[in-house]
Structure 1
Amino acid sequence: MATTASTTTLASVTIEVPIPEAAHRFYTAFGVDTHVRLRASEAHSTGFRSFTLALTVSRPATVDGFLGAAVDAGATVLKPAAKSLWGYGGVVAAPDGTIWKVATSAKKDTGPATREIDEIVLLLGVEDVKASKQFYVGRGLAVARSFGGKYAEFVSGGASPVKLALYKRRGLARDLGVAADGTGSHRIGLGSTAGSFTDPDGFAWEAAPSLTPAPSTASAPS
């Protein structure tokens, strides 16, 4: 299924953290500080927060570079980088608990490591992919790719550098190497170009103040 027009887009992604200054230092060292916003929050959560942010890069050496930078800055390895049928990748958890996956479809290096990110995907773990997809279509998002009840990806647009996708919650947890159990806040804010709403899995969308992306420092207290 695919459509060509969209009235709603993912305008921003905000990660809620206890100490924005510390989180900003981590995300700067990791190399993704210009792609996400940070906001102070003491919202309680336990276990898997039902989402991950995935970086797609060009080659294995670049995967290793990003994962190494994350670990050096304080991240915890959830799945060491390794080859698989689809390519090469690994998973880490940031000090604030946000899970990041870094992967490439390439299995061999064709050049040196870079700091370039080809694509960032926000994967929401949902109970029913088909139902959640229809909910988002009803909110004005356009489907770019859909694979039955397993996965759905929406057309990116606006100023956010992050693409939105849906994946079965338990399958996503299994892919990340974590238990599927989790309660409390997702600790992520999604900026919408079409006002505020909450999806069937409790992900809260906020009205984005503008489509101009802001570096994460803008949301950290001075």
Structure 2
Amino acid sequence: MVMATTASPVTTASTAALTSLASVTIEVADLEAAHRFYSAFGVDTYVLLRASEAHSTGFRGFTLALTVSGPATVDAFVAAAVDAGATVLKPAAKSLWGYGGVVQAPDGTIWKVATSARKDTGPATREIDEVVLLLGVDDVKATKRFYAGRGLTVTKSFGGKYAEFAPGQSSPVKLALYKRRGLARDLGVPADGTGSHRIVLGGTTSPFTDADGFAWEAAAPIAPAPSAAS
């Protein structure tokens, strides 16, 4: 079941103004706890947090993926997430494409940490090379056309399986599309889910919602999450 949101209906590409991804907001039930987790995990400068009690069950239809330099750095980020309260969905391991693992934050957001390197060329760091927001969608080709029509530039496209867009000038997160069931399988979770996605994309135009229920609103600037003591 594809998730629904209560945001505004889909805006057609032919009448939409140009937009770009400027921020990503995760909706959480416990804002203070989420601030502590994302600070400890080391990704608090990449996402915004907002308190919300929106109903959500099962797979929320997206993941945030970190690309890092090597296996030791993958392990360091996974360990930091687990120490801060995350659950391991897929232990970090080698694969055909490199090395990576999947964790779920206490708020329910799924994060993938990966590298294309199979061997370390140096010690572990806390540096992130790239953050990608992967939206799980029913029809990659149609959603790619929709976003291209709104002004996003396609940089990679693999038929109806995957599409990637150029990052916005002000956003530290890149947007990409993946088949919903394929994404769930890659993350090691069932594809079914209901309720809110619990994520909002900040854009540079008026609010809209895509065909898979992912809501966009006027962007807010990314800033580091405050510490628990602040």
2:223 maps to amino acid? A
| Number of residue pairs the alignment of both structures matches | 213
**Residue 127 of structure 2 is aligned to residue 107 of structure 1:** no
2:222 maps to amino acid? P
Deviation of 1:216 after TM superposition, in Å, equals 3.1
Q: Is the 8 A contact 2:137 2:143 kept in 1?
A: yes
Q: What is the CA–CA distance in structure 1 between the aligned matches of 2:225 and 2:141, rounded to whole Å?
A: 33
Match of 2:51 among 11, 36, 40: 40
1:8 maps to amino acid? T
Q: What is the CA–CA distance in structure 2 between the aligned matches of 1:138 and 1:197, rounded to whole Å?
A: 13
Deviation of 1:180 after TM superposition, in Å, equals 0.2
Could you say which residue in structure 2 is the equivalent of 1:216? 225
1:216 aligned counterpart, secondary structure: coil
Q: Is the 8 A contact 2:39 2:225 kept in 1?
A: no
Q: What is the CA–CA distance in structure 1 between the aligned matches of 2:46 and 2:54, rounded to whole Å?
A: 22
Q: Is the 8 A contact 1:38 1:217 kept in 2?
A: no
Q: Is the 8 A contact 1:125 1:166 kept in 2?
A: yes
Could you say which residue in structure 2 is the equivalent of 1:72? 83
**Residue 28 of structure 2 is aligned to residue 28 of structure 1:** no
Could you say which residue in structure 2 is the equivalent of 1:144? 155
Q: What is the CA–CA distance in structure 2 between the aligned matches of 1:186 and 1:158, rounded to whole Å?
A: 25
Q: What is the CA–CA distance in structure 2 between the aligned matches of 1:215 and 1:199, rounded to whole Å?
A: 28
Q: What is the CA–CA distance in structure 2 between the aligned matches of 1:68 and 1:36, rounded to whole Å?
A: 20
Could you say which residue in structure 2 is the equivalent of 1:190? 201
Calculate the aligned-residue CA RMSD, in Å: 1.5
After TM superposition, the runs of 4+ consecutive aligned structure 1 residues lying more than 3 A away are none
Q: What is the CA–CA distance in structure 1 between the aligned matches of 2:111 and 2:127, rounded to whole Å?
A: 16
Q: What is the CA–CA distance in structure 2 between the aligned matches of 1:13 and 1:35, rounded to whole Å?
A: 8
1:216 maps to amino acid? A
Match of 1:125 among 122, 127, 136: 136
More deviation, 169-178/136-145: 136-145
Deviation of 1:141 after TM superposition, in Å, equals 0.8
Q: Is the 8 A contact 1:89 1:103 kept in 2?
A: yes
With normalisation by structure 1, the TM-score equals 0.93
1:178-210 deviation line (CA, Å, top 9, x unaligned): 00010000000100012210001000000115x
Q: What is the CA–CA distance in structure 1 between the aligned matches of 2:169 and 2:194, rounded to whole Å?
A: 31
The answer for unaligned runs of 5 or more in structure 1 is: 1-5
With normalisation by structure 2, the TM-score equals 0.90
1:34-92 deviation line (CA, Å, top 9, x unaligned): 11000000001000000000000000000000000000000000000000000000000
1:145 aligned counterpart, secondary structure: strand
The answer for unaligned runs of 5 or more in structure 2 is: 1-16
Could you say which residue in structure 1 is the equivalent of 2:60? 49
Could you say which residue in structure 2 is the equivalent of 1:3? none
Share of identical aligned residues, percent? Answer: 81
Could you say which residue in structure 2 is the equivalent of 1:201? 212
